[in-house]
Amino acid sequence: MNILPLSHISLEDLLPHRGNMLLVSEILEVDRQHALAICWVDKSWPLADENGISSLILVELAAQTAGVCNGWDRIQTKGLDSEKMGWLVGIKKADFFIDYLPFGGKILSRAENIYSFSNLREVSCEQHLDNTLIGRMTLQLFQA
């Protein structure tokens, strides 16, 4: 099997999100097991108010980062033009160490598949802002 390089794949190829709901800005690392992404905090994001973005958005950042590595796996096994169906996400555990994300902040989001069987994934995720851990969670993903 030929591995398609990341330079030939866009965020829109990996994720079904568009517009203000596409929160991942750049992919730093990706393979079938993990992804590391940059997410620039923007005023257009959901959950924004005068204080910044509610830390609850970290769940979506984690889910989209998990979507990057699972989208990568889909493209490598089924091809670039394969169906970009999203995943249903459940939160098994979540810890937030910050109340609000500052506008313009650079979030490093890492997701790693720790369990995979058929259409089910369990994913460990962490997010950092300025080298400080701000969120840690375990997600369960299911694709119908």
pLDDT in tens, 33-54: 999 999 999 999 999 999 999 9
Evaluate if residue 72 carries a pLDDT over 60.
yes
pTM reported for the whole predicted model: 0.91
3-state secondary structure of 77: helix
Q: What is the pLDDT of residue 5?
A: 64
Q: What top-level class would CATH report for the domain 6-142?
A: alpha beta
Evaluate if residue 124 carries a pLDDT over 70.
yes
Burial group, residue 93, by CB count within 10 angstroms (0-12, 13-18, 19+): exposed
Indicate the domain borders of the chain.
6-142
Evaluate if residue 2 carries a pLDDT over 70.
no
Query: Nearest 5°: phi and psi at 59?
Result: -65, -45
